[in-house]
């Protein structure tokens, strides 16, 4: 299938304008939106699920759903970023429900945590530690710290209150620190 309009015509449009064009059946508008969010959605899914295969499935399904729902359908999308992330989030939740249970904190320390001279870098440890967080804490932390969404946007994506979002993020940070305490003590 051939795109009739050159991509560069959409590079200066806002996300809201691109969604409006997508509703009019403009395929290049979808490609432009995809280009803007592909990395963020893939990173979000990867950090939420911790598995590249499942993250790839969620990533693919996210954009397919957005395309199928919005292409040729006039919809008012007030916050495109929240809408896209909310779509991805719902799919991540479905994948989490179908996934195997995560490793317990104690098991993590016994099996995965090594003495300081064999430790991976702190960033890698944080990524792995995310798997030990409750899903709603992990989700809020990832959206805030990795994807840079504001508390308000996170509230819209997750459908929770602003206060709850802050609590989830704070608790995620605190638990991460406690998980990583042995690493800090060794360092």
Partner 1 sequence: MNTSDALILEFIDRTLDPEGEQQLFALMAAHPEMREALRQHISIGEAVRADRVAYAPPASLEMRLFQALDLAPAPTAAATVAWWRGGIGTTVSGMVIGVVATLLLLGTGESERVVRNTIEPTIATVTTGHSIAAAIPGLPRATVGGDFSSPGATVVRSIPSAPRVVEKIRYIERPGRQAASLASNGSEPVSSVGASAPVQLHQTSPQAASPSAANEVLSVPATPLTAVSLAASSPLEDAVSLRSPFTVELRRSFGNKDMASVPMGNARQSLFENTAGAVYYNLTDSFAVGVEGGYERYAQVLRPSVGDTLMIEQRPAYLWGGATFRYIPGAIPGTAVRPLFQGTIGATGAGPLVRGRLGASLALGEAFGLNAGFEVGTLFYQYNGETLASGRWGLTTGIEFKLP
Distance set, CA 146 to CA 17, 41, 47, 77, 126 (Å):
26, 11, 9, 24, 12
Inter-residue contact 23 to 9 (CB < 8 Å):
no
CA angle 34, 35, 40 (to 5 degrees): 80
State which of residues 65, 109, 127, 128 lies at the interface with partner 1 (CB under 8 A).
127
State which of residues 50, 65, 67, 103 lies at the interface with partner 1 (CB under 8 A).
67
Phi and psi torsions of 113, nearest 5°: -85, 125
| Selected range binding partner 1 among 32-40, 89-97, 103-111, 155-163, rule: CB under 8 A | 32-40
157-186 residues in contact with partner 1 (CB under 8 A) are 170-171, 173-174, 176-177, 180-181, 184
Q: Which is nearer to partner 1, 78 or 132 (CB)?
A: 132
H/E element, 152: helix 151-158
Cα Rg of the chain (Å, integer): 19
Task: Give the interface size with partner 1 as a residue count (CB under 8 A).
Answer: 45
Binding residues for partner 1, per CB under 8 A?
A: 1-8, 11, 27, 30-32, 35-36, 38-40, 42-43, 46, 56, 59-60, 63-64, 67, 121-123, 125-127, 145-146, 148, 170-171, 173-174, 176-177, 180-181, 184
């Amino acid at each position: 299938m051939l795109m009739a309009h050159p991509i560069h015509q959409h590079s200066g449009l806002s996300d809201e304008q691109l969604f409006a064009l997508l509703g009019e059946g403009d395929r290049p508008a979808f490609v432009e939106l995809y280009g803007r969010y592909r990395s963020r959605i893939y990173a979000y899914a990867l950090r939420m699920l911790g598995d590249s295969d499942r993250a790839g499935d969620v990533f693919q399904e996210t954009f397919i759903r957005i395309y199928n729902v919005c292409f040729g359908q006039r919809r008012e999308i007030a916050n495109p970023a929240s809408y896209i992330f909310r779509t991805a989030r719902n799919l991540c939740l479905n994948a989490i429900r179908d996934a195997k249970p995560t490793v317990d904190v104690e098991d993590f320390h016994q099996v995965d945590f090594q003495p300081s001279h064999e430790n991976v870098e702190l960033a890698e440890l944080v990524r792995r530690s995310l798997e030990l967080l409750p899903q709603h804490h992990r989700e809020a932390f990832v959206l805030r710290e990795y994807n840079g969404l504001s508390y308000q946007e996170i509230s819209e994506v997750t459908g929770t209150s602003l206060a709850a979002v802050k609590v989830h993020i704070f608790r995620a940070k605190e638990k991460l620190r406690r998980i990583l305490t042995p690493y800090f003590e060794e360092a």
